[in-house]
């Protein structure tokens, strides 16, 4: 299985691009380099190109005749990038987020017993129905926020 890199590679790059935008920086890559000192130049380039291809950030790159991908410019965050850094709200319903988080936890849990309990919880939530879960989560959020 591929190594999970979101928290250590891609998200810090997106946050650096957001920071560069907020500062009005013209050298976005300089801000990215400062924010990710533990990454090699090639790791940064590969991550930015992947983020661009996935719709998170605007960037200009080109593969040359020698097969090497060259990054020419890092631009602004796209819609998904803004959501990833918390600038914009998620377009997922709270129920979808809960189910996704539970699935991620199931996938990451090595303990078979805990994995089984989490899978049972996920199966139970799935049987309840999305509208009921949405109502329950909305009530919970309002309660936590101190709203009526």
pLDDT in tens, 43-83: 999 999 999 999 999 999 998 888 888 888 988 999 999 99
Evaluate if residue 1 carries a pLDDT over 70. Answer: no
pLDDT of residue 141: 83
pLDDT of residue 81: 94
Whole-structure pTM value: 0.65
pLDDT in tens, 3-16: 889 999 999 999 99
pLDDT in tens, 97-146: 888 889 989 999 899 999 999 999 999 888 888 888 888 888 888 888 88
Torsion of CA 117, 120, 122, 123, to 10 degrees: 170
More confident of the two residues 12 and 96 = 12
Of 5, 11, 6, nearest in space to 85 by CA: 11
Domains and their CATH numbers in the chain = 6-84 (1.10.10), 94-145 (no CATH)
pLDDT of residue 100: 86
- Residue 86: C-alpha distances to residues 16, 19, 47, 80, 101 (Å): 13, 12, 19, 10, 17
């Amino acid at each position: 299985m591929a190594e999970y890199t979101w928290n250590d590679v891609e998200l810090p790059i997106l946050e650096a691009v957001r920071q560069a935008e907020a500062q009005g920086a013209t050298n976005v890559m300089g801000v990215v380099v400062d924010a990710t000192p533990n990454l090699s130049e090639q790791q940064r380039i590969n991550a930015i190109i992947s983020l661009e291809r996935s719709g998170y950030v605007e960037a200009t790159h080109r593969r040359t005749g020698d097969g090497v991908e060259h990054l020419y410019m890092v631009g602004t965050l796209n819609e998904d990038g803004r959501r990833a850094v918390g600038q914009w709200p998620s377009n997922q319903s709270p129920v979808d987020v809960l189910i996704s988080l539970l699935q991620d936890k199931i996938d990451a849990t090595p303990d078979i017993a805990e994995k089984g309990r989490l899978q049972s919880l996920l199966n139970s939530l799935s049987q309840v129905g999305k509208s009921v879960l949405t109502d329950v989560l909305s009530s919970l959020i309002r309660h936590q926020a101190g709203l009526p």
